[in-house]
Structure 1
Amino acid sequence: MKTSGFIMIIGSALLLGLFFFPLWNIKLEAPQYPDPLGMDIYIAGIEGEEEFDIQNIDGINHYIGMKKIPKPKDMWEFNTFPVVIGGMAVFGIILGILGLFGKISSRWFLGWFILMSLLGILGMYDFNNWLIDYGTDLDPKAIIKLTDANGDPLSYKPPLLGSQKILNFTAHSYPQTGAYLMFAGMFLTLVAWFFGRNKVNN
């Protein structure tokens, strides 16, 4: 169990990278912007890739009635996610230490992985709901009002993952360093369970 406990500690600790690196990035490309506008989404807030990106995105959104990019105080997620991630990282490290000394079985590692996977799915579901609200809850007094073939207001929802054409912009939405560290950490915890299980079976 020493090897699996050590791997569990490393995997759990990788989640702490989410406090330093962005989880997701949304980038907007258009002919009038030689340098694309981008925003990095962290677990505690949203920042522009460049100094004035958020200001420019808010300016564009104003014309079509979209809300401003939320600040940490505007969304409960930015207060809750750091607590959840920090708690799961500490919990996983404690499990790894207990496993290191043979105090628990590797099934705890699998349980941690399943719980973290469920939290990740819920997080992505919540993120997608925010994108839907962000792209569809438009100000009826907007300067520019565009409708589809049925006369319904256009949706400006960025894609959850991938690229999508929105008017003359192309929106790109992809995971960033924080997400890759989280995925790597979760994979290592699965490896820790596998090594621990094999040790018991042997």
Structure 2
Amino acid sequence: MKKAGIIMIIGSLLLMGLFKFPLWNIMLGAPQYPEPLGMDIYIDGIKGVSEFDLQNIDGLNHYIGMKVIPKPEEMWEFSAFPKVIGGMVALGVLIGILGFIGKVSYKWFIGWFILMSILGVLGMYDFNQWLTAYGGDLDPHAIIKVINPDGTPMTYKPPLLGYQKMLNFDVTSLPHTGAYMMFVGMTLTIVAFFVGKKEHKKA
């Protein structure tokens, strides 16, 4: 399974892009901001798209009682996620090498994919929970209080994926380069499974 092993190794290594590129991006546009404000979410922290974006977003959020954007040391995820990704890369490369030399079955490739998929779903769930708390846990003493038509307090949870209108802001939340590299890498591990299966039948 030499060809399958090489594809598995390449697919696993593509996850290393998450250490360099953002996983997700949230952009906020409004008439008073000719240049939209944005934050890039990495596996180890959150950075502004432009130099003062996080500062400006926190300033706006203060008026409606939202918490400040957390620093890396304030969320356990930002220390755990790099370890998880690093571990999955190492495991994928090891499986690929063992497949290359014929020490493991091609079924290990799909096993890695299933494990990574489960971790990905758990990560997205955790991210959505953070967005819910970030946009819904508001300071009751905030300067500005906006309520829904039914009288309940309005929440400011950004969308997990896609577009949403929030007051006068257009908010867009989409995967970024790191997520696309991860998607391609995981797809390659599926390819490695089918290539390995084909090579096994020929053998």
TM-score after normalising by structure 1:
0.99
Distance in structure 2 (CA, Å) of the matches to 1:157 and 1:171: 10
Provide Cα deviations, 1:136-163, integer angstroms capped at 9, x if missing partner: 0000010001111121110100000001
Matches of 2:173 and 2:133 in 1, distance apart? 16
Deviations 1:152-190 (A, max 9, x none): 110100000001000000100000000000000000000
CA distance, structure 1, for counterparts of residue 99 and residue 122 of structure 2: 28
Residue 129 in structure 1 maps to residue 129 in structure 2? yes
Give the C-alpha shift of residue 102 in structure 1. 0.5
1:8 aligns with 2:20: no
Unaligned runs of 5+ in 1: none
Indicate whether 1:28 and 2:41 are aligned.
Answer: no
1:56 equivalent in structure 2: 56
Is 1:174 equivalent to 2:174 in the alignment? yes
Q: Secondary structure at the residue paired with 1:196?
A: helix
Cα deviation, residue 200, structure 1: 1.4
User: Which ranges of structure 2 fall in alignment gaps of 5 or more residues?
Assistant: none
C-alpha offsets along residues 98-129 of structure 1, whole Å, 9 cap, x if unaligned?
A: 11101101100010000000000000011011
TM-score by length of 2: 0.99
Aligned to 2:86: 86
> What fraction of aligned residue pairs are identical, expressed as a percent?
67
Matched residue SS, 2:108? helix
Separation in 2 of the partners of 1:70 and 1:197? 46
- Residue-by-residue CA offset, 1:67-91 (whole Å, 9 max, x unaligned): 1001001111000000000000010
Paired with 2:198 and 2:100, the residues of 1 have a C-alpha distance of: 15
Q: How far apart in 2 are the matches of 1:8 and 1:102?
A: 13
Post-superposition shift, 1:201? Answer: 2.2
Which whole-Å CA distance do the structure 2 matches of 1:180 and 1:110 have between them?
19
Q: Distance in 2 between matches of 1:183 and 1:120?
A: 10
Partner of 2:37: 37
| 1:17 matched residue in structure 2 | 17
Paired AA for residue 130 in structure 1: W
Equivalent-residue separation in structure 2 for 1:149 and 1:60 (angstroms): 23
Does residue 1:157 correspond to 2:149, yes or no? no
Amino acid at match of 1:199: E
For 2:175, give the aligned amino acid.
P
Alignment of structure 1 residues 97-108 onto 2, 5 Å: 97-108=97-108
* CA-CA distance at 1:94 after TM superposition: 0.5
Please give the alpha-carbon distance, in whole angstroms, between the structure 2 residues aligned to 1:154 and 1:98.
54
Instruction: State the 4+ residue runs in structure 1 displaced beyond 6 angstroms.
Output: none
* Distance in 2 of aligned mates of 1:125 and 1:197: 33
